[in-house]
Structure 1
Amino acid sequence: MQRPFDENLYRFDKPQPSYWEATAEPGRFDNAPLQTQESCDVAIIGGGYTGLSAALHLARDYDIDVRVLEAGHFGWGASGRNGGFCCTGGTGVHRQELVRLVGLDNAREYYASQVAAVELVRQLASDESIDFQAQGSAEVEVAHTRRAYARLQEDHDLLTNSLGLEADLYSAGECRERFYDSTEQFGALVTRPTFGLHPLRYCIGLATAAHRHGAKLHSHSEVVEWSTDGAGEHRLMTRAGSLRARKVIFACNGFMQERLRNDFFGRTIPVISAIVVTRPLSEDEKAAQNWKTDNPAANSRRILNYFRLLPDGRFLFGGRGDIRGSEQNEQRTYENLIGTLRQIWPNWRNVEIEYRWHGLICMTASLCPTLGRLDNDDSVFFGFGYHGNGVNTATWTGKQLADWIGNGREPEGLPAIVRGLSRKYPLPGLRKGYLGLGLFVSRQLDRFR
C-alpha cells in the first residue's frame, strides 16, 4: 500500500497551513539534512513523537549515539498537526469491546500504561522545559443522543469499577451548566487524566531536548532504501546521504513507507483526519452556547468529532476525512466539517474559519498500538499504530523502545495487547476498500445510536 492517497498528502517539502504551524516557535537546534556518509549506534526512521521520544531517552538516559532521519521538517506529520489531545485511548475499539476482545486483566494493564503515558508527557515538559501551552485537566466525552448517554453510563461503571480510571458522569443539565450547550448534548462522561496542548510546540520541544542531550537530528532526509549486510549492520539511504547503524527503530506511523522492509508490509491502514479552526470567539459568542470549559472534548459517534477551545479563544473542530486525499475531496471534507460544526452550535454559524488542514492517522489490523523487536532480526525495533491518540501513546512507546535498547531486555510490564508486531490484514491490497467500507458502515450505525 505505497502511498494510497493523492500525492498532495506526501509533499514533505510543503508544511500544512495549520494553526499550529502559524503559532509555533521555530526549533532552535541543528537539523540539517543528511548529506554525507555517517554511522551511529541507533538510527531512527521517523521524527515524530515516537522517534523523538526514543532519541531523547537514548541520548539522555543511556548516552547512546543516536540519529533521527525525518522526511519533512520535525513536526511535519501527525505529531505536528493533530488536535492536541493528551488523553487515554490509543485503540480502534470501544472500551467495552476491548474488554470482550482481550479480557479484563489485559484491558486494565493497557489502560494503566495509558495513564502512565499521559503523565510521562507532563513530566517531560517539566524536566525539559517544554512550553506546550497545557490546557484543561480532563476529557469531556459528550453523548450525541439519549441512547448514547445510556452507553456512557455503562462506560462510567466499567472505567471506575473495573479499569481503575477516574471518571465522572454528568446529565444533560449538569453538562450544560459545567461545559456547554448544543443541539447534540445529552450528558457527558468526563475522564482523567487528560489535557490539551500545542502539538507542534511539543514536537519541537522534544527535538530540542533530544539535540541538547546529544542526539543528532536530520530533517528532509527521507529514507528511500534500507539494506542489511552480512554482518547485520544496517544501511539507510537518503537522496543525499547514507547512515550505517547497528540497530534501527522504525518509528513511522500514518505516512510510513511500509515497503522499506517487508516485515512491515500489510499491517496498517492510514486514515485521513481533518481540522478547522475559527477566528477568536468573543465572550458574547461563547456565552451564546454557554461555553465554559477549556477541557478537550469529543462526541460519542463511531465517526467522532473532536473539539476544544484554544487558549486564544479560537475553536478547533476535527473529524474524519475522505478516502482519496485529493484537493477537490479535501475541500469537500472541510465544507462538511464546517457544516457539522454549525449544526451542533447554531449560534456560531456566522463565525469565520481561518485555518483548515488534514493529515493521516494509522490503524493496525489488531486495532491496538504495536511495538517491539522483530522476531527475525533482534536489531530492528518498531512502534506505530496509535489510532489518532499518539500524543501520549507515541511518547510512551518511544521511551519503552529506548529502555529496551538501553537495558538490553524487554521492559517489564509491557502490556500484552501492544507487544509484538500486529498481524497483517487479509489480502492487504484491498485495504483501501476495507477503509471505505468501514467508514460507510460506521456512518450508518451512527444513525441509530
Structure 2
Amino acid sequence: MYDPLVHPFPDKSQPDPDSYWLKVSGAAAPDDDGPVAGDAEVDVAIIGGGYTGLSAALALARDHGIKATVLEARSSAWGCSGRNGSFARISGGRVPWSQLVKTYGPDVARAYFQELRQGLDTVRALIADGGIACDKQPDGVYKVATFGTHADALRREEALYNGVLGYPARYIGASGLRGIHEGSESHGALYLPDGFSLNPLELARGLHRMARDHGARIHTNSPVTRWISDGGANRLVTPTGTIRARRVIVATNGYTSSRLHPSLAARVLPVHSQIIVTAPMSAAQVEASLPSGKCMFDTRELLFYYRRLPDNRMLFGGRSAISGNDAAAPRHRQYLYDAMVRKFPALAGIDVEHWWGGWVAVSRNSLPYCYRVPGANDVFTAGGYAGSGVSFSIHLGTKLAMLAAGRPFETSATFLTREPERYPFASFIRLGQWMAYRWLHAKDAREARRAG
C-alpha cells in the first residue's frame, strides 16, 4: 500500500480501502473537476483533498472571496478523512493534559482547549449549515480504564478538567458503567459530555460539495509530482498539467510524502492505524459488550478506540503495523480481533467483514501545528493531529484559509503556530517507531500482570 516514507505520491494503482464507510456510503463520489487539464495560474492552490484541504477551500471561498484550486492525488477524502474511526471530539495530538499543563502552563493549556472546543463547534455548524447527512450520533465520549490501576489516574484527570480547564468531565466508577460498557476491561471511565460519532466519509463528501458550491475547483487524480519555486510563485506539476500558484496550502498530513517539499520533510511521522468492523452482533452480544453507542477509547499506552455502529456492528481500531509494506499482514487483523475479544469475551467467534487502515501524522512534540513555512514562497501547512483530527483538522483548515488570505492566526496556544522540529535520523525513523511500540507493549503487559 501507499507509504509516504517510500512513495512520492499515491497513484491510480493504489486501491480503495475495504472500509465499512465506503460500503454504506457507496462508491459514487460527489462531482469534481477531474484531473488537471493543461496549465493554469491560480491565486491559491491546496494540495490534499481531505478535511483540512476541503475546509480551507470552503473557508477561502465563503469567508475571503478566494476561489481556491484543490489538487488531490486520488479521490476526495481517499486518505484518513474517509477512513478514520469516526469520532469528532475535543481533541488533537496525543499529549496528556497533565503533561501539557506542566510543559506550557495552565493559561496556554486553557487556550488550546478552547481552540479544540471551537473545532468541535465548527464541525457542528458545518453539518447543520450544509445539511450534511453523515449519520451524526448523540454526544458522549468515554475514556475507559483498561485496568483497575488506571482508575486513580482518571480521577486526577477529572479534577484537572474541572479545576484547570473549566470543563465538566465526570468520573464514573465501574458499577456505573453497567448498561454502557460491559466486558472484562471496564474498571471505571472518564465521561466527556461533548463529542460524537458520525460517518466520516459522508462528512468529507459534504465539505467537498459545499466547497464546490462556493466556487472552489477540486481536481482529483492530480498528484503533485514536482514542486518548482519560480520567482515568487510555485509551479505544481501534475501528470496532466501544471498549476502556477501565488500561494500554496499543504493539507496532506499523514499522507505527506517525504519528497513533496524539502521544508516539510521529516516534520511528521506517518503512523498506520487499522480498523476492523464485525458482522452484526446479536442482541445478547450487544448487551454483553457495548449497550451504549457512544464513542469509546481505553487507557492502554497503545490505546484502542471502538464503538457500536447503528446497525449493531462493532468498530474496533488501534495501532499495529509499522510500514506500508507490512500493513496487509494478517497478524495485524488478528491483533485487533484478539484485543476486541479480550475486552468483550461475548464476541468470540464473530466474523470480521471489513479491515482497513490509513496513515495518521504525529509531530515530534505530539501536538498539531498550523504555520507559514519559513523560506518558502507563501506556503502554509497544518497537521500533526495524531489520529484525533476529525474536528480539529477542519478547524485548522479555516485558519489556513485566514493565513492564505493575508490575515494572521492569533492564538494564545503558542505552540500551534510554530514550525514543528524535524525528527532526527529520519532514515531510521521506522526503527525508532518499532522500538517505541515494543516498549509500550511491554508497559501494557506489565499492567496486565499487575492486574492479575
TM class by shorter chain equals over 0.9
Q: Give identity over the alignment, percent.
A: 33
Structure 1 residues 113, 328: CA separation in 2 closer, same or farther (over 3 Å shift)? closer
Whole-Å separation in 1 of the counterparts to 2:10 and 2:41 = 31
Q: What residue in structure 1 maps to residue 49 of structure 2?
A: 47
Offset of residue 233 of structure 1: 1.3
Instruction: Report the equivalent of 1:241.
Output: 241
* 1:29 paired residue number: 31
- Secondary structure of 1:163's aligned partner: coil
Alpha-carbon distance between aligned partners in 1 of 2:8 and 2:265, rounded to the nearest angstrom: 20
Per-residue CA deviations over 1:71-118 (Å, capped at 9, x if unaligned) read: 111111010000001012212222212222222211111111111101
SS in 2 for 1:377: coil
Q: CA distance change for structure 1 residues 10 and 326 in 2, over 3 Å: closer, same or farther?
A: farther
Per the alignment, in what secondary structure is the counterpart of residue 390 of structure 1? Answer: coil
Listed one character per residue, the Cα deviations across residues 358-386 of structure 1 (whole Å, up to 9, x for unaligned) are 11111011211011112323611111110
Q: Deviations over 1:215-262 (max 9, x none)?
A: 0001111101111212x1111001111111110001111111232211
CA–CA separation in structure 1 for the residues paired with 2:105 and 2:65 = 39
RMSD: 2.0
Which residue, out of 416, 420, 423, partners 2:421? 423
Question: What is the aligned partner in structure 1 of residue 171 from structure 2?
Answer: 169
Question: Which residue matches 1:287?
Answer: 287
| 2:380 maps to amino acid | F
In structure 2, the partner of 1:224 is 225
CA contact (8 A) 2:86 2:199 kept: yes
Runs of at least 5 residues in structure 2 that lack an aligned partner in the other structure:
448-452
- Whole-angstrom CA distance in 1 between matches of 2:140 and 2:191: 6
Structure 1 unpaired stretches of 5+: none
Give the match for residue 64 of structure 1: 66
Q: Which residue is equivalent to 2:381?
A: 382
Question: Partner of 1:160 in structure 2?
Answer: 162
Tell me the distance in 2 between the aligned counterparts of 1:431 and 1:328.
17
Given residue 240 of structure 1, which amino acid in structure 2 is its aligned partner?
T
**Matched letter for residue 55 of structure 2:** S
CA change 1:166–1:54 in 2 (3 A) is same
TM-score normalized with structure 1 length:
0.95
Please report how far the alpha carbon of residue 44 of structure 1 lies from its aligned counterpart in structure 2 after TM superposition.
0.3
SS state at 1:318 partner: strand
Q: Is the 8 A contact 1:9 1:359 kept in 2?
A: no
Distance 1:61 1:117, change over 3 A: same
**Could you tell me how far 1:284 is from its partner in structure 2?**
2.4
Match of 2:399, SS? helix
1:311 aligns with 2:313: no
Q: What residue is the counterpart of 1:347 in the other structure?
A: 346
Aligned twin of 2:368:
369
Deviation at 1:27, TM superposition (A): 3.0
Residue equivalent to 2:148: 146
Q: Distance in 2 between matches of 1:415 and 1:127?
A: 28
**One-letter code of the match for 2:16?**
P
Aligned to 2:450: none
The residue type paired with residue 411 of structure 1 is F
Please name the residue that 1:102 is paired with: 104
- Secondary structure of the residue that 1:260 maps to in structure 2? coil
CA apart distance, 1:196: 0.3
Q: Which amino acid aligns with 1:151?
A: A
Please tell me whether the aligned partners of residues 372 and 378 of structure 2 are also in contact (alpha carbons under 8 angstroms).
Answer: yes
When residues 338 and 11 of structure 1 are mapped into structure 2, their CA distance, relative to the original with a 3 A threshold, is farther
Distance in 1, matches of 2:117 and 2:52, equals 17
Secondary structure at the counterpart of residue 207 of structure 1: helix
CA drift of 1:137 comes to 0.6
